[in-house]
Amino acid sequence: GQSLEQPSEVTAVEGAIVQINCTYQTSGFYGLSWYQQHDGGAPTFLSYNALDGLEETGRFSSFLSRSDSYGYLLLQELQMKDSASYFCAVRSDRGSTLGRLYFGRGTQLTVWP
């Protein structure tokens, strides 16, 4: 089966850097994604890694190590508006499950002033 592990909560102060880790076990692997969800809102796509290494998009970066089945989301220069839940997700191309994602349980990030 598929399983993803990420911390349930992380706290940090404004201006700081925070890293949210995700480890996964899947029978097939075609990419690790990250989603952000504010309270009462819909999840929105943040980033995607198919290959090992770091992908940077503004203040957010995402890293993947396929050999370690591990990735992380790095948030820099934290702002209050970054307080949200963050989900990692992996894609499995196994047979008819083409295109579906498996989501972690989410990490609640709280940013303090």
Partner 1 sequence: DVKVTQSSRYLVKRTGEKVFLECVQDMDHENMFWYRQDPGLGLRLIYFSYDVKMKEKGDIPEGYSVSREKKERFSLILESASTNQTSMYLCASSPTSGGLRSYNEQFFGPGTRLTVL
Sites of contact with partner 1 (CB under 8 A):
8, 30-31, 33, 41-45, 48, 50, 87, 89, 91, 96-101, 103-106
Burial of 102 (0-12, 13-18, 19+ CB in 10 A): middle
- Name the minimum Å distance from CB 55 to partner 1: 11
- Name the minimum Å distance from CB 100 to partner 1: 6
Residue 79 to residue 17: CA distance in whole angstroms: 10
Token readout for 112 is: 């303090």
Nearer to partner 1, 72 or 106 (CB): 106
Nearer to partner 1, 74 or 101 (CB): 101
Nearer to partner 1, 51 or 113 (CB): 51
State how far the alpha carbon of 81 is from the alpha carbons of 4, 23, 111, in Å. 26, 26, 8
- Name the minimum Å distance from CB 9 to partner 1: 11
